[in-house]
Amino acid sequence: VCQSHTVPVQSCVQAVTLEVKDGNSTCIKAELSASMSITYNSSSSTETAVVPLPDSASVDAGSSSCGTDRNLPWLVAVFGSGHALGLSFSTNGSLYSVANLTLQYNLSDTSVFPGSNSSVVVTVVTASVGIWAAVNTTYRCVSPTMVAVGGQSVTFSDMRLEAYMQGNELSPAESVCIADQSITTAPPATTSTTSAPTTAHPSPTPPGTPERGTYYVYNSNGTVCLLAQVGLQLNVSYLSQSQNKTVQEMINLAPNLNASGSCEASSATLVLTQAESIALSFTFSLNSTSNKYHLSGITLRANFSDMSAPFVASNTSLSYLWSTLGHSYMCNAEQTLAVERDFSLNTFKLQIQPFGVTTHQFATAEECQMDQDEMLIPIIVGAALAGLVLIVLIAYLIGRKRSHAGYQTI
């Protein structure tokens, strides 16, 4: 045990490997170091104990599980005299994340909490963890990451973690946390979706028009089932850590986001991720009776360095981008899709087809009303000019006829 005023925290932290199994198959595996900073009352003052997760920590078989249709997967590590650290996981099929972090500590353990005036076992929980990764990848974060939980805190470091595993070893493909990435400038426009992601950061000035990216979602048989081309701009309000106030930022997304998703008979999902900084998902729904589809849901998870906590916004009752099965939806004009009070999404030069894709090409497009209106303006102006010319010509002919009326032919 480290007392925070005498012993450096990092000197006490050790690496631990933890696995949750279902028979011979591993479903959750974690290699990490962790320390818990816990404030408690002694008989004379308030003390803080920094408690490392020891290498003797073990997986609690009674609390840990690979999950079921009704229960989330759990990794619960137990150590010492009644202490535990637990992580639960959830997934949307394309991403998995830590849904809850649970910390349990026993204040009667005087070896950890010397002079404690309480003997209760305390359990605190938080759902604001900010750890997520693409399915079939390992979450990696070497940098220290602190998670606040019930007035206490847990700091992870040297973390490699994977849930919903397909094999018994951590995937070589990694989703790297934002703290481990260098700050880079977005590269020039490209339609590639496989290049290395860059870290997005809010800009203090309006960012201009975002570059257009091209994204594909594939069926299990390798055929394309969803096509999208769009420039994306986030409009978010969040609590700034440096300014200690709520700020509003417009953030252009680079056109090289990683694309994944799924396609079902009446629903389709496009998930765009940028390492650990952004996960933006779109859900489309198809009405088989009317053969009309639309954008029904948008979810954003963002974790920028200046955010006091990970940003999450979701709305599954949207009604945008309506089109007909067998056609793509197209809107070159800028659109603003309101999602929640603190988040809206601006789209530019959008064309998307989530259903009825037969090749790598879009089907005939149905254009948005704004594009149709923009096409009508030059038509109306041209018709008005043509009408004006016609009026001038008629007036000229009438005037010329009248000018000859007073003369007789000799």
Tell me the C-alpha distance between 16 and 53, whole Å.
8
288 residue type, one letter: S
Instruction: Name 216's Cβ contacts closer than 8 Å, sequence gap at least 6.
Output: 193, 224, 226, 227, 228, 259, 360
Tell me the average pLDDT of the chain: 83
pLDDT at site 189: 38
- Beta carbons within 8 Å of 13's beta carbon, 6+ residues apart: 33, 34, 35, 52, 53, 157
Residue type for 16, please?
V
State the Cα–Cα distance between residues 72 and 89, nearest whole angstrom: 6
DSSP letter, residue 402: H
- The residue with greater pLDDT, 392 or 186, is 392
Taking only the tens place, the pLDDT of each residue in 53-72 is 999 999 999 999 999 888 89
d(CA 117, CA 4): 19
Q: What is 142-211 written as a DSSP string?
A: -S-EEEEETTEEEEEEEEEEEES-SSSS--SSEEE-GGGSPP-PPPSP---SSSPP------SS---SPP
Q: Residue 102, SS3? A: strand
- Do the Cβ atoms of 325 and 292 come closer than 8 Å? yes
For 271-285, how does the pLDDT look when each residue is reduced to its tens digit (9 = 90+)? 998 877 888 999 999
Give percent above pLDDT 90 in the chain. Answer: 45
User: Is pLDDT at 86 greater than 90 in this prediction?
Assistant: yes
pLDDT tens-place string over residues 256-270: 888 888 899 999 999
Phi, psi (deg, nearest 5) at residue 307: -80, 135
pTM of the model: 0.53
Whether 279 contacts 236, CB under 8 Å: no
DSSP state, 398?
Answer: H
Cβ atoms < 10 Å from Cβ of 196? 11
Distances (CA, A) of 111 to 80, 106, 334, 387, 398: 9, 11, 62, 94, 110
* Residues, the chain: 410
Per-residue model confidence as pLDDT tens digits over 146-156: 888 888 889 89
Which pair of tokens denotes residue 64? 């840990």
**For the chain, what is the radius of gyration of the CA atoms?**
30
